[in-house]
Amino acid sequence: MIKINNVTKKYKTKKGEVIGVDDVSLTIEKGEIFGIVGYSGAGKSSLLRCMNLLEMPTSGSIIINGTDLTKLSAKELRKARQKIGMIFQHFYLVSSKTIIENIIFALKAADFPKAERVKRAEELLQMVGLADKRDVYPAQLSGGQKQRVGIARALANNPDVLLCDEATSALDPSTTKSILALLKDINQKLGLTIVLITHEMEVVKEICDRMAVMQDGKIVEEGSVYDIFAAPEAELTKQFIGDILQLDIPEKLIRECQGTIVKLQFKGSKAGETVVSDMLQLHQVKGNFLHGKIEYIQEEPLGIFVLEIIGEKNEVAKAITYLQDRTGNAEVVTDGY
């Protein structure tokens, strides 16, 4: 478990003091994948670097598996860091060393027993799907393959925690999916706690269990990924989610609609029910789908649809009430009366 208690990180600049992390508290459970989302400058990378004390917090505490890292001596901190792996946006591989030599170098730095280094490096290459690249050099690898080496290197010393700082932002969408699938597989097989920093909501949706949204050094929203996607509260979170769901209706289309436009949200099993079809049979109205999408978050469906309802005012009101009762989330976008 990771407990971040009232952590603040201040930086001194020529223009004065800047607050990078502003009184942040979080609890990240053992074995979960936790995402921290925010735009550039939000403070998320500073917070991540505070987690293994690459950045010393100005105030507050970082407790990992019951140990407060901020109270350790330099020697104790070096030992504690051996159980905290880290993956970066840039791969930082040694170009003059082969792939297996890069991993052995990391094992050596972690004081891994010399006689076991080659065997351990080969196990890690097998784990990340690069056993056949054992003796090639970094320049011969794609970006995704280089990041797999970075992951293998971060796992070298059997860490309990894996910190990922924008680990997929330099990769194309297809490669990003494969890296996220690898991280999820590692999480499930090894029981690792993974903290993932990103500015891409799609990344969080893909593999995270819970998440926090950062803005100006503060946490503005926190919760399960599904709940936040289903009912975002902070304006920044709504903006992030809107970029993925993309359910904006062109103004021209709205002007041309003659009926009442309703936005529906279907959670979980509701997404598979015939709610709209039942409504059309029960009430004297016509329906016209304008937009719709079903996202799967942690394999649970979340459906959002925009529907135009046409008919007598009284019947339309009854139909909307029915939709609200069935879905629990029916919002009138424009009233046709």
Q: What would the DSSP string read from start to end of 12-36?
A: EETTEEEEEEEEEEEEE-TT-EEEE
- Last residue of one domain, picked from the residues 177, 211, 243: 243
Q: Is the pLDDT of residue 317 over 80?
A: yes
- Last residue of one domain, picked from the residues 197, 227, 243: 243
Distance in angstroms (rounded) separating the CA atoms of residues 76 and 46: 22
Which of these ranges, 32-36, 151-155, 297-301, 320-324, has the smallest mean pLDDT? 297-301
CATH for 82? 3.40.50.300
Q: Is 329 helix (H, G, I), strand (E, B) or coil?
A: coil
| pLDDT, average across residues 136-152 | 93
End-to-end CA distance of the chain: 55
**What pLDDT does residue 85 have?**
92
Distance in angstroms (rounded) separating the CA atoms of residues 286 and 156: 62
**What pLDDT does residue 136 have?**
94
Predicted TM-score (pTM) of the model is: 0.87
- How confident is residue 337, by pLDDT bands cut at 50, 70 and 90? low
Pair (238, 255) in one structural domain: no
- How confident is residue 272, by pLDDT bands cut at 50, 70 and 90? low
The mean predicted confidence, pLDDT, of the chain is 90
**What pLDDT does residue 190 have?**
92
**What pLDDT does residue 129 have?**
94
Task: Name the helix (H) or strand (E) containing 80.
Answer: helix 74-81
Give per-residue pLDDT as tens, 180-229.
Answer: 999 999 999 999 999 999 998 989 999 999 999 999 999 999 999 999 99
* DSSP letter assigned to residue 96: T
- Last residue of one domain, picked from the residues 189, 210, 243: 243
- How confident is residue 123, by pLDDT bands cut at 50, 70 and 90? very high
**What pLDDT does residue 293 have?**
82
**What pLDDT does residue 251 have?**
78
- The two three-digit tokens of residue 123, written as one number: 């196990």
- The two three-digit tokens of residue 137, written as one number: 């050099």
- Please classify residue 304 by burial: count the beta carbons closer than 10 Å to its beta carbon, then call 0-12 exposed, 13-18 middle and 19+ buried: buried
| pLDDT, average across residues 139-153 | 93
Pair (8, 115) in one structural domain: yes
Q: Are 69 and 5 in contact (CB under 8 A)?
A: no
Pair (219, 311) in one structural domain: no
Distance in angstroms (rounded) separating the CA atoms of residues 233 and 295: 19
* DSSP letter assigned to residue 250: P
Pair (174, 277) in one structural domain: no
Distance in angstroms (rounded) separating the CA atoms of residues 101 and 137: 9
The percentage of the chain sitting over the pLDDT mark of 90, rounded to a whole number, equals 63
Q: Is the pLDDT of residue 101 over 80?
A: yes
**What pLDDT does residue 247 have?**
64
- How confident is residue 21, by pLDDT bands cut at 50, 70 and 90? very high
Q: Is 249 helix (H, G, I), strand (E, B) or coil?
A: coil
Pair (183, 256) in one structural domain: no
Q: Is the pLDDT of residue 335 over 90?
A: no
Q: Are 26 and 2 in contact (CB under 8 A)?
A: yes
The β-bridge relationship of strands 59-64 and 2-13 is: antiparallel
Pair (101, 36) in one structural domain: yes
Q: Is 284 helix (H, G, I), strand (E, B) or coil?
A: coil
Count of the separate structural domains present in the chain:
2
Q: Is the pLDDT of residue 13 over 90?
A: no
Pair (237, 258) in one structural domain: no
Per this entry, what is the length of the chain? 337
CATH for 288? 3.30.70.260
Q: What domain range includes position 307? A: 251-334
Pair (60, 193) in one structural domain: yes
Strand order in the sheet with 260-267: 285-297, 300-311, 260-267, 330-334
Pair (24, 69) in one structural domain: yes
Q: Is the pLDDT of residue 32 over 90?
A: yes
Pair (129, 198) in one structural domain: yes
| pLDDT, average across residues 30-57 | 94
Give per-residue pLDDT as tens, 68-77.
Answer: 999 999 999 9
Closest CA to 309 of 278, 270, 279: 279
Cα 166–Cα 170–Cα 171 angle in degrees, nearest 5: 110
**What pLDDT does residue 267 have?**
84
Distance in angstroms (rounded) separating the CA atoms of residues 36 and 166: 10
Q: Are 130 and 72 in contact (CB under 8 A)?
A: no
Pair (308, 288) in one structural domain: yes
Pair (55, 178) in one structural domain: yes
**What pLDDT does residue 159 have?**
92
